[in-house]
């Protein structure tokens, strides 16, 4: 069934209209201009995505975005189909050409969901063009628009290119003010082409806790190992043989199951000492998995806060880095972004975030590069939305969100260098960025 809403045709059309803007360099706000490969672009991301089409078409390995969740309190981009550059100039002052405030999208608005869909659709359509064939996009969202986001992503990226709906445990404890507290958000993931998915994704590195599970209780010359179930679901006639343990006990697959491999493969594993039948040699057949042969572990769709961080951690990280109180709400923890970069990129990949906010993505990319010696590049795009005059950010003289993001990258880069000063090659880490600002073409 085709997913339709009020304004969809215009949203499709606007993605095809060339931008009337240009990106002007701003060297005075950049860092290491002459040698950095990272970009920080100030401007309406719809126009910026259009301008990136020529230089970055089919070149971006991973996109992450944390768009407005449409909660009625967040900023929604109201695109002007006739002149979006003029509209952008107005939006940076949070008013349109008639002086109407553009900062919220109230549920009382009859086009509440339609406005959000019209904002997201052309941006995702343009973003897909930038992805490499083995590229992937991750999108943070909550319950408010997750169903609509899934529908438009399936239309834009294709039903078959859906990877997963990841659940992120964002809190450490329930909100006591509520009867049923929401403790999670979603991260939708789609591939540019699912045929590349298996090769495009990386295994996660084993943790110290993972390694502790590997033992060598039988002095196997291959070293520490863990055992896994040798059974498998389903019925396959050539995998229904009987197994006799070294102690003489016979086993057959239980009802509705078969052995994991055909008999010839089992005999080979047995001969090589890769099967385990318990200390008494009478146990159910299990296959050994050796630590030295383990390249990593599979990521699954439940991302606990103990593994990838939580909202409180994210707030604290930013506050400590900038030396101020909370100046940016709803930032994501570095560990969360680093997980996405780890599983979906290579050492020279380009990562794009066109709702970059406080620039957590750039921070995570630099951090991971420092850890594994990679040379990933990041492109951050952010609307220079003014901070509220009563906010802590404004009191700290951050007049718009871009000023927060740029300062974070500056400080994060220096801190990473300092924390890794004894690491070989750390002096080659790219902690710079070139600033460009969206302007009207002359």
In the CATH scheme, what architecture does the domain 8-203+300-440 have?
Answer: 3-Layer(aba) Sandwich (3.40)
Token pair 């970069």 is found at 341
Report the pLDDT value the prediction gives residue 243, as an integer from 0 to 100.
98
Question: What does DSSP assign to residue 106?
Answer: -
The dihedral sign for the CA sequence 401, 113, 84, 380:
positive
Report the pLDDT value the prediction gives residue 431, as an integer from 0 to 100.
98
Contact of 312 with 337, CB cutoff 8 Å: no
pTM above threshold 0.85: yes
Over its length of 442 residues, how does the chain's per-residue pLDDT go in tens digits? 789 999 999 999 999 999 989 999 999 999 999 999 999 999 999 999 999 999 999 999 999 999 998 876 665 566 654 556 666 656 555 444 444 444 456 555 557 789 899 999 999 999 999 999 999 999 999 999 999 999 999 999 999 999 999 999 999 998 888 889 889 999 999 999 999 987 888 999 999 999 999 999 999 999 999 999 999 999 999 999 999 999 999 999 999 999 999 999 999 999 999 999 999 999 999 999 999 999 999 999 999 999 999 999 999 999 999 987 778 888 999 999 999 999 999 999 999 999 999 999 999 999 999 999 999 999 999 999 999 888 889 998 999 999 999 999 999 999 999 999 999 999 999 999 999 999 987 6
**b/e per residue 29-68 (b: at least 16 CB within 10 A):** bbbeeeebbbbbbbbbbbbbbbbbeeebeeebbbbbbbbb
Report the pLDDT value the prediction gives residue 312, as an integer from 0 to 100.
94
Contact of 437 with 423, CB cutoff 8 Å: no
Residue 133 CB coordination number (10 Å): 11
Token pair 């083995």 is found at 134
Report the pLDDT value the prediction gives residue 84, as an integer from 0 to 100.
61
In the chain, CATH 3.40.50.150 sits at 8-203+300-440
Compute the CA torsion angle 47, 49, 52, 53 (nearest 10 deg): -110
- Phi, psi (deg, nearest 5) at residue 383: -70, 130
Contact of 378 with 353, CB cutoff 8 Å: yes
Token pair 């003489």 is found at 248
Contact of 122 with 46, CB cutoff 8 Å: yes
Which tokens hold the place of 116?
């959000």
């Amino acid at each position: 069934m085709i997913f339709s809403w009020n304004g969809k045709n215009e949203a499709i059309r606007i993605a095809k209209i060339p931008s009337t803007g240009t990106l002007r360099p701003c060297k005075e706000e950049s860092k290491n201009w002459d040698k950095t490969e990272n970009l920080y672009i100030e401007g309406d991301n719809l126009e910026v995505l259009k301008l990136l089409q020529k230089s970055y078409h089919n070149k971006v390995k991973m996109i992450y975005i944390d768009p407005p969740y449409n909660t009625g309190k967040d900023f929604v981009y109201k695109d002007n189909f006739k002149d979006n550059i003029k509209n952008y100039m107005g939006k940076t002052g949070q008013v349109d050409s008639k002086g109407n405030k553009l900062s919220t999208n109230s549920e009382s608005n009859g086009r509440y969901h339609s406005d959000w869909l019209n904002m997201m659709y052309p941006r995702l359509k343009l973003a897909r063009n930038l992805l490499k064939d083995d590229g992937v996009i991750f999108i943070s969202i909550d319950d408010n628009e997750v169903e609509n986001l899934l529908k438009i992503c399936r239309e834009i990226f294709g039903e078959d290119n859906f990877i997963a709906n990841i659940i992120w445990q964002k809190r450490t404890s329930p909100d006591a003010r509520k009867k049923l507290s929401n403790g999670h958000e979603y991260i939708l993931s789609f591939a540019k082409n699912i045929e590349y998915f298996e090769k495009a994704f990386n295994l996660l590195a084993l943790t110290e806790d993972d390694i502790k599970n590997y033992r060598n209780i039988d002095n196997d010359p291959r070293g520490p190992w863990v055992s896994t179930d040798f059974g498998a679901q389903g019925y396959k006639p050539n995998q229904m043989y009987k197994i006799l343990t070294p102690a003489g006990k016979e086993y057959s697959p239980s009802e509705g199951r078969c052995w994991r491999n055909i008999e010839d493969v089992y005999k080979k594993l047995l001969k090589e000492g890769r099967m385990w039948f318990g200390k008494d040699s009478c146990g159910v057949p299990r296959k050994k998995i050796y630590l030295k042969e383990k390249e990593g572990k599979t990521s699954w769709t439940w991302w606990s806060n103990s593994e990838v961080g939580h909202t409180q951690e994210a707030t604290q990280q930013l506050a400590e880095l900038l030396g101020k109180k909370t100046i940016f709400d709803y930032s994501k923890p570095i560990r969360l972004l680093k997980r996405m970069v780890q599983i979906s990129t290579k050492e020279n990949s380009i990562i794009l975030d066109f709702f970059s906010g406080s620039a957590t993505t750039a921070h995570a990319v630099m951090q991971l590069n420092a850890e594994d010696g990679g040379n990933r590049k990041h492109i951050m795009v952010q609307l220079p939305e003014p901070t509220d005059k009563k906010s802590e950010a404004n009191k700290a003289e951050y007049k718009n969100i871009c000023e927060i993001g740029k300062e974070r990258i500056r400080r994060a880069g220096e801190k990473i260098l300092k924390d890794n000063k004894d690491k070989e090659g750390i002096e080659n880490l790219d902690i710079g960025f070139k600033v460009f600002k969206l302007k009207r073409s002359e």
